[in-house]
Every structure is written in structure tokens, then in C-alpha cells.
Chains A and B, each alone.
Chain A
Amino acid sequence: MELADKLNILKAASEGLLYPSESDEPFKVFCWPRETGQTAQDAVRIHGGAGEPVESVPVDGFFAALTDSDEADRFAELRTALEQVVPDFVDLRAGRINVSVFLIGTATDKWLGLQTVSVET
């Protein structure tokens, strides 16, 4: 699958979808260059503007918290899309109050995924 196709799949799966918390925030598709030896934590710090610390949380927990959402079906589709495009994706979080959330995986020489915000006061 071409990179453009992967981006289109993520874009279609997240279009108009809002991540719920104290606010409701859109998802943004990202595609960043991937250097040799670079970790996903490095990538979100360098390209995603994430400060320290960057915390890795279970992907299952991300989706389990959305099963009672009005958009539960779309979040299930989003998971399918991510597993198709970036099967090794992880959930990274950084910051407090306006918490940056990254669903990030690898696609050959790129970091690919979705970025959003969870408002947590």
C-alpha cells in the first residue's frame, strides 16, 4: 500500500470524529520522517511538540474508554484503520491539563498516525 493510500485511510477514518474528554477535540493525521534508532517517544518530542514526560499507555485502554461513546462504532472503525495502516501503533501521552495524545506507528521510513488532545483538569 502506498503512503498516500495509508494517509487517506486514516483521514477518512478520523474525519469529523471528536475525541471526548472535558472538551471534544478533532484528530489530526501526521506523517513525520523517521530517523534510524529513533523511538516513537523521540518522534513526538521532536515533531509533535510534546514535552516531558512522554507516557506510553495501553492501546486497549484507549478504545475501552470509548465503548460508551455515541461514536463507539466509528472508534471501532478507527482502530481497524490504524491496525491496517500502522499495525505496530502505540498510544503516547504528554503534558497535563491539555494532554497531547498520539496514536503513532511506523510506515517504512515514516512515523504515521493521529494526534488529538484530552482535556483533563
Chain B
Amino acid sequence: MPTRQRSEQRDRPSGTSALAWAGVIVFLLILLAGVLVYIFTRPPQSTPGNPSVSTQNAPAPPVVIVSPHMLLGNPSQATADPSNKNNFLMVKPYFCLGYNNSKGTPNWVSWRLTAADLGTAPRKQTFDPDDSLPAGYYRVEHRDYVRCGFDRGHMCPHSDRGANQEMAFATFVLTNIIPQAPNVNRKAWERLEAYGRDLALQHNHLYIVSGPAGQGGVGTDGPASTIAGGRIVVPAECWKVIVVVPEGATDDLAAINAGTRVIAVIMPNTQDVGEDWRPFLTTIAAVEQHTGLHLLTNLSGEMAETLRQKLDTGWR
């Protein structure tokens, strides 16, 4: 057993080496304590992908930017948990949305619009079910809107994503669609969409959130509260909020201030709507009150409150 004896001798510390080991352990503990103190006492860091927001009175928790298309926040605190069927967060490459499986529509769709997004990419004629919905969700299909008296109304419109075919086709997914009265879709709503694109071409970045509200609209076949055998809720109103940030800021969120232009509209989902979107101007506060959503959660409280109360006059 010579080998074992040698091993036992090696494993048995002498008085001197035990002291050395104790010294090393104490040193490591001091080092670890220092690192922990640094981690828990350093100020919050700001990075381009995860900027922090400060307020005058107290440091706010760091703002997490899930996507550039959700710069303003997560209006319903939607989550990507499949069991959250009526407030399901879908972060897509070209827009984000909170989906409502019971309604067969988004609760809201949020996207950034810049001049780089614009172009003349082709359209699709047919609309696509959203294959990225979890199992157990109803996937709305093109046929669910056939002969229903309402248009397949884009929230993030095709023309806001015309830079290439992939972007343009992505808008034809039915989780981006609500039943819109034809005179809304083809008139005032379309005019406001076009106005937004004009602003983008005039060197602005637009942060847009839109969606349905309430239940019961009027299409070409008269009033309806649902279509597709009850699977899709027809909204009573369509709303949209646009925050206009001039180009040139390194951080668009930080560039938003009390003077920033905001446009908010609520349109009835009926055939009474004409070409002009300006009669439907309102405040973000009114949209929030109407929908129960919180549209500016990534902005500081005081400034967000100022923006919520603004009624746009920038079109004059």
C-alpha cells in the first residue's frame, strides 16, 4: 500500500500550509464582499437598448425597451405567457401587439414609423392566419371576414411597411386586423395614416399605438356586435395615438418632452365617418379612459401627464 500512504501524507496539511490556506480564504471573502457592495450600491446604468428614465423627485426603475416598436410602453402589461389568452404579448419584427383571443382581435398594436420604413413594396390580396399564436388559440382566417359588411382593417398599415416585401406582407397577418366599417377604413382612418407617413417623410420618427374599443359597429350590412359566428368582436370605436419625435436624437425616448406633439383620435366604427380625421381628435387621457389602457408607461409621470392632456393643433 505504498501509494495510499503517499496520498494520505499529501492530503494531511501541515501547520504552516493550513495557515496559508486560511489566509487565502479570508482574502477571497473580502474580495467577494467588495464585489457585492459595488453591485448593490452603483447607480443605474443607461444604455442605448435599455435607457433609464429619471424624474425630478426620485430615481425611477430602469425602463425595459422590449422592442423599438414599444418605446412608449406596454399598454396593457401584456405577457408572452400562453395562458394569458386575452392579453397575450406578441413581439414581432415590424410591430408588436397585445392579442385578445376572446375577441379575435388585438387589444392594441404598437409600432415605430420612420421614412426608412416607406416604399412601394407590393400588397397581398389574401390575409394570413397568425401561425405564431400558441396552441389552443383560435386563429382567425381570411374567410372569417367574407361577406361580413366590415373591412379587414389594418392597425399597422401596409403602406407604413412598404420598404420591402417581407415587411409589407407581414402586415397582412390577421392578428394585426380588426373589423372596420368601410367608411372608416377607406376614409378618415386612411387619411390619418397617410398624414402620419407625410410626417415621417418630414424628418420625424412616429411612435404609434392603435386598436379597437367597445363592442358593436355599423358596416355595409347594418349593425353588428360580432362576425364569424361570434369569434370576432366588432368594435364600437377605433382609436389611435401618435407621438411625433423629430429625427436626430440619439435616444428618442429621452427626446420626448412636454412640448412633443401628440395626436390622438377616437372614431366611431360606423358608416357615418367621412374623409376628415380632425373632428375625431381627442386626448391620450380620453383614449386611456375609454380603453383602460396605459399608453405612456415608459415616460416619467409628470411629463406623461402633460402629454396625456394635450389636444393636437399641429395640423393647422
Contact = CB atoms under 8 A, between A and B. Distances in A.
Interface of A: 18-24, 65-66, 68-70, 97-98, 118-121
Given A23-B152, A121-B190, 6 more contacts: A20-B125, A66-B126, A68-B126, A119-B182, A121-B159, A121-B193
A23 B125 CA distance: 10
A22 B142 contact: no
A23 B126 contact: no
14 contacts: A20-B142, A21-B123, A22-B153, A24-B145, A69-B126, A70-B142, A70-B143, A97-B186, A97-B190, A119-B186, A121-B151, A121-B154, A121-B157, A121-B190
B126 A20 contact: yes
Given A23-B151, A24-B146, A24-B147, A69 B125 contact: yes
B152 A22 contact: yes
B127 to A, nearest CB: 8
A19 B125 contact: yes
Nearest to A72: B126
Contacts of A69: 125-126, 142
Contacts of B154: 22, 121
B290 interface: no
Task: Sort chain B's interface into a size bin.
Answer: 20 to 34
B185 interface: yes
B95 interface: no
Contacts of A65: 124-126
Contacts of A119: 151, 182, 185-186
A121 B158 CA distance: 8
A21 B125 contact: yes
A60 to B, nearest CB: 13
A18 B142 CA distance: 12
Interface in B41-83: none
Identify the 8 closest CB pairs spanning chains A and B, nearest first. Answer: A121-B190, A65-B125, A22-B151, A22-B152, A20-B125, A24-B146, A20-B126, A97-B186
A20 B159 CA distance: 18
Contacts of A20: 125-127, 142
B189 interface: yes
A79 B154 CA distance: 29
Interface in B118-140: 123-128
Contact of B123 (A23, A98, A120): A120
A83 B185 CA distance: 35
A76 B165 CA distance: 24
Given A22-B153, A65-B126, A69-B126, A121 B147 contact: no
A97 B185 CA distance: 9
A3 B126 CA distance: 33
Contacts of B152: 22-23
Nearest to A57: B122
With most chain B CB atoms within 10 A of its CB, the pick from A22, A23, A24, A65 is A22
A109 to B, nearest CB: 33
Contacts of A97: 186, 190
A118 to B, nearest CB: 7
B186 A98 contact: yes
Nearest to A18: B146
Nearest to A64: B125
A66 B146 contact: no
A120 B123 CA distance: 8
B126 A22 contact: no
B180 to A, nearest CB: 9
B135 to A, nearest CB: 22
A98 B158 CA distance: 15
B125 A66 contact: yes
